[in-house]
């Protein structure tokens, strides 16, 4: 500590000294000193950073923005509950970008849930009301509402109606000044505002067009290659389409190359509800058994292992119920279709895959609200978007991940899964950095993280990505990094990127990324270790075992700066080696 005054020392004695005699003598005893060292007053965190201290007048793309993935979920990505209260929780934690997955619901009311899974559904209206109530309780800096739109045009209009009716002037950006240059507005100019991130109608459509087709790539890519649950309905004998029963819900299938697993006739003894119950129990069991929290490698636990076990269980279940016939042919019943295993992410396999039934249905029903388009030689899904919802998107237009990160257009938000983003970061880090100097990029977890584990956000922050979305419901090392990142600047959810990342060329993965900047050395001295826990379930009971403690210090940042060291261990001593310098 520097510039310590006598008054400050007297105040420390008054607050932390336990002996009245020492207080009278203005002396700090060992107990008082220990209390002082363990108090927030000695926290390494700069107390001035508990308030907003950074320049908040720069473009949005110059800030890291605290972001949440599938905000509504309370647990895993397959079976957990969806709750509107989760939005209140993450917003009050400082998160400034929340995600809402919108689907058609009953009675014309859009719902929010993780599509094609067994997660519960909540009303979109309840979500918007919760966000409106809690968005600016902790601070007034803007909230980005990332909408994944899977709704029909009719329910899209209902979504737009709720957004305008509940948020009111929070959506009005007419007074926002983005400056004379074509750049994004600043957090300061957007105080108290909610930005809708979503699709926008193409500019070539006239203003009088009430709806139009847009690509559905970013929404669909997040679901592609993963565990997707839905019930596929085949035509009935008389050419009618069998409607979904109210109790059937969503049954398992995987996106990608689909093939029939089994078919059940209308008269068999095993109902869809029984099959769903079986699958749910199996998945719950596997999720509980898996110890995969906070795995940085998305392949450390893939869907393949879980679904292989589920596949074996289903086969055993079918043998016990011979009335459920296994077949690879299209029949007149309901088909539960699935593809097990992770397919390779080649250029060809990334294109949207459709079952033969879906392609035939598309040809027979040209009036469907989803279609296909070709882009860069790939077949892409499209969807219809209504004008009312499109007009609410101003500075945050969702666009799909591109093969080549180009300069793009200010106002576009590029979306990558962590897998695709990792490839771009490794292969085009400098180009990616330049892109992120003018536009926003959102990174979301791999679809294989069905347990809602989190990836390491650091490489994407190092590449200048602003919206690195994590599963806030999952505690662990990655959320600790996220909280540490955004604790500074008053925990307002916006942290200014280093100047070198905001202009010019910068390669974060270079051996000497800042050759013109002087190097700094960080020196740390270990003086004590307090309140060290005994091993749980010790064979010595309450006495516990003798522990061999050590202190580990880690610096996390650019690859060239990352390092880790620890104090020496003395076997069966129970004490930390102190007065050690790193």
Q: What is the CA radius of gyration of the chain?
A: 28
CA nearest to 257, candidates 382, 366, 378, 344:
344
Please answer whether residues 213 and 205 qualify as being in contact, where contact means their C-beta atoms are separated by less than 8 angstroms. no
* CA atoms of 135 and 167, how far apart (whole Å): 10
Q: Who's near 571: CB < 8 A, 6+ residues apart?
A: 548
383-421 CB burial, b ≥16 within 10 A, e <16: bbbbbbbbebbbbbbbbbbbeebeeeebbbbbbbbbbbb
* CA atoms of 124 and 142, how far apart (whole Å): 20
First to last CA, the chain: 19
Q: Which of 49, 50, 62, 113 is catalytic?
A: 113
113 catalytically annotated: yes
DSSP 108: G
Is residue 93 packed enough to be buried (19+ CB in 10 Å), middle (13-18) or exposed (0-12)?
Answer: middle
69 catalytically annotated: yes
SS (HEC) of 110-146: CEECCCCCCCCCEEHHHHHHHHHHHCCCCCCCCEEEE
Return the bridge partners of 379, or none. 374
Helix, strand, coil % in the chain, rounded to nearest 5: 30, 20, 50
Please answer whether residues 100 and 146 qualify as being in contact, where contact means their C-beta atoms are separated by less than 8 angstroms. yes
Return the bridge partners of 20, or none. none
* CA atoms of 427 and 569, how far apart (whole Å): 41
Rounded to 5 degrees, φ, ψ at 519 are: -80, 150
Neighbours of 350 (CB within 10 A): 17
Strands (E), 36-114: 63-65, 67-68, 97-103, 111-112
Please answer whether residues 469 and 32 qualify as being in contact, where contact means their C-beta atoms are separated by less than 8 angstroms. no
Q: Which of 49, 50, 62, 69 is catalytic?
A: 69
62-84 CB burial, b ≥16 within 10 A, e <16: bbbbbbbbbbbbebbbbbbebbb
The two three-digit tokens of residue 97, written as one number? 């970008």
* CA atoms of 580 and 582, how far apart (whole Å): 7
Return the bridge partners of 253, or none. 228
Q: Which residue has the tokens 């059937």?
A: 248
Neighbours of 203 (CB within 10 A): 6
Q: Which residue has the tokens 């905000």?
A: 71
Q: Which residue has the tokens 């590029």?
A: 414
* Cα separation values, 419 from 97, 297, 534, Å: 21, 10, 40
* CA atoms of 193 and 175, how far apart (whole Å): 11
* CA atoms of 157 and 160, how far apart (whole Å): 5
Active-site residue numbers? 69, 113
């Amino acid at each position: 500590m520097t510039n310590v005054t006598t008054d400050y020392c007297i105040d420390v004695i008054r607050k932390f000294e336990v002996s009245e005699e020492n207080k009278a003598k203005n002396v700090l005893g060992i107990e008082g000193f220990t209390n002082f060292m363990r108090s927030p007053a000695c926290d390494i965190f700069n107390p001035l950073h508990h308030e907003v201290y950074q320049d908040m007048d720069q473009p949005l793309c110059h800030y890291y923005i605290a972001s949440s993935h599938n905000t509504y979920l309370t647990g895993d990505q397959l079976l957990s509950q969806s709750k509107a209260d989760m939005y209140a929780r993450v917003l009050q934690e400082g998160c400034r970008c929340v995600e809402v997955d919108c689907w058609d619901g009953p009675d014309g009311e859009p719902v929010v849930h993780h599509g094609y899974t067994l997660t519960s559904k909540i009303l979109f209206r309840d979500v918007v009301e919760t966000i409106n109530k809690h968005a600016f309780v902790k601070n007034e800096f803007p909230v980005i509402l990332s909408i994944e739109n899977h709704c029909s045009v009719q329910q899209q209009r209902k979504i737009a109606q709720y957004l305008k009716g509940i948020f009111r002037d929070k959506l009005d950006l007419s007074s926002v000044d983005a400056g004379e240059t074509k750049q994004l507005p600043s957090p300061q100019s957007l105080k108290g505002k909610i930005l809708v991130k979503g699709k926008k109608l193409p500019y070539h459509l006239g203003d009088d067009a009430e709806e139009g087709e847009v690509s559905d790539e970013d929404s669909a890519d997040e679901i592609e290659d993963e565990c997707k649950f839905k019930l596929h309905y085949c035509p009935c004998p008389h050419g009618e389409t069998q409607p979904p029963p109210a109790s059937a819900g969503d049954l398992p299938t995987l996106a990608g190359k689909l093939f029939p697993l089994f078919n059940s006739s209308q008269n068999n003894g095993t109902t869809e509800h029984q099959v769903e119950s079986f699958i749910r129990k199996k998945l719950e069991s596997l999720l509980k058994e898996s110890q995969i929290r906070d795995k940085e490698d998305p392949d450390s636990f893939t869907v393949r292992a879980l679904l292989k076990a589920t596949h074996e269980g289903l086969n055993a279940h079918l043998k016990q119920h011979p009335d459920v016939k296994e077949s690879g042919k299209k029949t007149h019943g309901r088909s539960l279709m699935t593809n097990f295993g992770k397919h390779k992410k080649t250029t060809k396999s990334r294109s949207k895959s459709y079952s033969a039934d879906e392609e035939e249905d598309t040809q027979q029903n040209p009036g469907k609200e989803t279609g296909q388009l070709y882009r860069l030689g790939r077949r892409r899904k499209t969807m219809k978007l209504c004008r009312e919802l499109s007009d609410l998107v101003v500075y945050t237009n969702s666009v799909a991940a591109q093969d080549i990160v180009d300069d793009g257009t200010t106002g576009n938000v590029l979306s990558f899964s962590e897998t695709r983003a990792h490839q771009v970061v490794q292969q085009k880090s400098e180009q990616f950095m330049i892109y992120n100097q003018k536009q926003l990029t959102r990174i979301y977890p791999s679809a294989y993280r069905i347990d809602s584990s989190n990836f390491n956000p650091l490489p994407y922050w190092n590449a200048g990505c602003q919206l690195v979305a994590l599963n806030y419901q999952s505690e662990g090392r990655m959320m600790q990094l996220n909280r540490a990142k955004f604790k500074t600047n008053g925990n307002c959810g916006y942290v200014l990127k280093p100047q070198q990342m905001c202009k010019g060329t910068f390669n974060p993965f270079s051996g000497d990324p800042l050759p013109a900047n002087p190097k700094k050395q960080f020196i740390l001295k270990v003086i004590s270790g307090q309140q060290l826990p005994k091993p749980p379930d010790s064979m010595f009971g309450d006495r516990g075992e003798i522990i061999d403690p050590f202190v580990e210090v880690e610096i996390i940042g650019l690859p060239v700066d990352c390092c880790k060291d620890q104090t020496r261990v003395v076997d069966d001593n129970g004490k930390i080696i102190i007065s050690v310098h790193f």
